[in-house]
Structures are given as C-alpha cells and as structure tokens.
Structure 1
C-alpha cells in the first residue's frame, strides 16, 4: 500500500524537521572543536607557540565562531519566526546558512589539523596534512553530493 501524498504544509514541516536534525549533528562537531580551540589558548604549550601558530589558532577560532553562528542561526530563526507563516522562507535561509556553516566548519577543522600538525611535525608536513584534510572535506561534504545531484538532474 502506498503512502498518501503530502501537501505543501506537511512537506515544509518535514523539510524543516530534517534540516534541524542535520544541524544538530554539525552543531555538536563545531561546539566540540570550538571548546578545544578555546582551551588550547590557555595551555602552557601555547605560550611557546610560534607567531604562525598563534595567527593560525586565531583564524581557526574565528572560522569555528562563524560556523557556530551559521549552524545555530536556523534554530534562532525558527524560534523567532515561529507561527508567522514563514516556514518556506526559514527553510530557504536555513539551507544557505547550513551550507555556509559546513564550509566554515570544514575550514576550521582543516585549520585545527594544520595547527596540531605544525606543533607535532612542523613545516611543510603540517601544510600537506591540512591540504589533504581540506580536500577530503571538500570532496566528501560538497563535491561528491553535488556531483550526484548534477547527475540526477541530467537524467530527468
């Protein structure tokens, strides 16, 4: 027996619920990374950090801050615009925020890899590991799903 078709209102509710569930996963990751980055600045080892490591740390903190803001914003929008008849607008904006937030999270995680690798290995190995992780996030989170979406669109 097939499921009955959902109307526009039901589809919007489902879309919003799915988006908020997805954001919970990303929010947890960015919050853990942010906490790690904040804690690092107050360690004994960080006092001896090079200028490069200090700047990289601050840039990575700012990327994580931006990711957190973008990934949490849809929940704030939903709460502030609750029952205002703007669910479709909330979903559209939230989708853009989520995508941008994931991009900043990937950049922040890449920065964290470079920072840790520079402390442990230093030099070009840190940059290489950062590049590998950045490409990995880019392919896994963006290029691959966009390729699937593009291929699906061509088949229609």
Structure 2
C-alpha cells in the first residue's frame, strides 16, 4: 500500500501487531527513526516535521514499513466533540441549575474562543470545568462532572 506525500495530512498510522518482528528486518537509520516517530493520535505529516526529511521521503519510508507489516493505516476516533456531547451538556446542566444552562454553555464557549463546530476532545475537560464552576450545589456539580467526563473517553 503506497502513501503519497499529499496523503500524509489525512493518514493515521499505528504500529501493527507484527511490529514486534521489527528486529527480523534490516532497517536503516531513517526507517527506524520513522518507525519510532509514529504516534496513533497524530497524522503522518507530523513525522515530516520531527524527522526533517522531505514529505516524499517520509511517504516512501512509511509505505515500505506498511509493506513489511510493521505499520498499518487506521481511522482515528473523531478528534471533535459532536452534537451528542452538547445535547448531554445542556441536558445535564439543566438538571443541575435549570433554564440558565443554555446561556452558561454559550458563555463558556465564547470565553474559550471555541465553537460547537471546532471543540476538540482535548478542550472538553476545560469547558466542563468552566461550566461546573457555576454549579453551586457540590453534589450536583460532582454528578455533572462525572457524567460529562464519560463523553471525553
């Protein structure tokens, strides 16, 4: 399976189950560096920045590592929180504080500089904490945080 330089931004790789066999192959320094630079949660284009190699060279080396069975392509889980997160956020906040929930959510999003369309999972905890700080009842606050934390897994 060939990877082109143009595909690096949209390609996600992980070490395959066969990666323990890496010692059975002769890998040059660049291939070893590329192999150990692969991180599941980052697009393959990150390897270009870390390695200093050209996108074409990285694509060629990644293709070879895939052919050897040491790496495999995969589709990552969504990096963004979707409508289910915001529906749960509003529902659970309404349970905790009542009808002001929608206003507090919009205010927290505005203050963070993020929107519903671009909220990454990594920013979800900060939004949950910011909103939870407005809940005065400690039991309700802890319940809200516990329920919403499940959406970040």
TM-score relative to the length of structure 1:
0.32
Mark the structure with the bigger radius of gyration. 2
Q: Which has the higher strand share?
A: 2
TM-score relative to the length of structure 2:
0.32
Q: Which has the higher helix share?
A: 1
